Amino acid sequence: MKAYVFPGQGAQYPGMGKDLYENSIEAKVLFDKANEILGFNITDIMFNGTVDDLKQTKVTQPAIFLHSVLLAKTVNDFVPDMVAGHSLGEFSALVANKTLTFEDGLKLVFKRAMAMQKACKIAPSTMAAIVGLDDKTVEEVCASVNEVVVPANYNCPGQLVISGSETGIEKACILLTEKGAKRALKLVVGGAFHSPFMEPAREELAAAIEATNFSKPACPVYQNVNAKPVSDPKEIKENLIAQLTAPVKWTQIVKNMITDGALSFTEIGPGKVLQGLIKKIDKSAETSGIENFAG
C-alpha cells in the first residue's frame, strides 16, 4: 500500500515552487488563483523572497500548502491508499485525498495562519525540542512544572517538541537536561503551537471549518490528534479543530500506517524532514520524496 505524507511549518525555502509554476500549466493557473484568494502575491514571496520573508506565519503556511498540493496534482498515477500530514500538512493531505477542494483548503490554511499569528501575540509563549529522552520522562517533567508546558510534537522516538509559557519552557529545559536529555533547545517560533495557548485560534478556526464542506475522502487520513485512519467527514472536522491545541502524534501515525500495510512512504512538498523522521521510527521503512516538478 502507498502512503503519501505532507510536511508542516519549517520546511519552507526561498524559490520553492518556481519550477512548478514555470513547467505546469495547471499549477500556474492555481498559483495565480491562490494570489487572488489570499489578496497578496504569495508566488512572488515564494519564488523571490528571503528566508525572513517566508518565516511570517501568514506566508509560511499557505506557501507550504500550495507547494505540496500543487506538486501532488502533477504526480503521475497519484492514487494514495492512505495519507497523513504533519500539523499544517494535514490540510494538504485532506486536499490530496479529496476531502477538501483546493480553494477551501487554501482558505482554511490562511485562516489558520492568521488566527495562530494573532493568538501568539496574546501571551509570551514558545517551544523547545527535546532530544535523547523517552516520551514518558518528558511527559512527567512537563506535568511537574508549575506553568503551562505540554508535549506538542511526538516526532520520532527520542525526539519530542514541548510547548508552553516562556518561563515554563525554561524550567522544563533545565529539568529535562538534568534527567539526561542530549539537547533541550528552545526553538525560534512565534508561540506555543499545539498547546492551550492556541485556544483563541482554535475557536476562530472551528467556525471556519464548520462552515466548510468536507466530502467523503478517496482514502483514509491518519490524523494528528488520534493517529488513527479516519474516513468520516464529520469526524475529520472534529479532529482538525482539536488539532491546534493537541499534540501531533507523528510517531504513532507512522507506526499505525505500517501496521495497516504501508509498504512505502512518499513525502510530497518542500524538504525531507518527514522522510528522516519515518526512518528513525522504522529503519526498514521505504521512503522517497517529491519536491520538484517531475513532468
Q: Which residues are known to be catalytic? A: 87, 194
3-state class of 260 per DSSP?
coil
Q: Report in angstroms the alpha-carbon separations of 181 from 132, 161, 250.
A: 5, 12, 20
- From CA 129, how far away is CA 181, in angstroms rounded? 10
- From CA 179, how far away is CA 189, in angstroms rounded? 25
The residues near 142 (Cβ < 8 Å, ≥ 6 apart) are 149, 150, 151, 162, 164, 172
User: Do 87 and 193 contact (CB within 8 A), yes or no?
Assistant: yes
DSSP bridge partners of 238: none
- The three three-digit cell numbers of residue 78, written as one number: 497519484
Count CB-CB contacts under 10 A for residue 71.
27
HEC-encoded secondary structure of 16-84: CCHHHHHHCHHHHHHHHHHHHHHCCCHHHHHHHCCHHHHHCHHHHHHHHHHHHHHHHHHCCCCCCCEEE
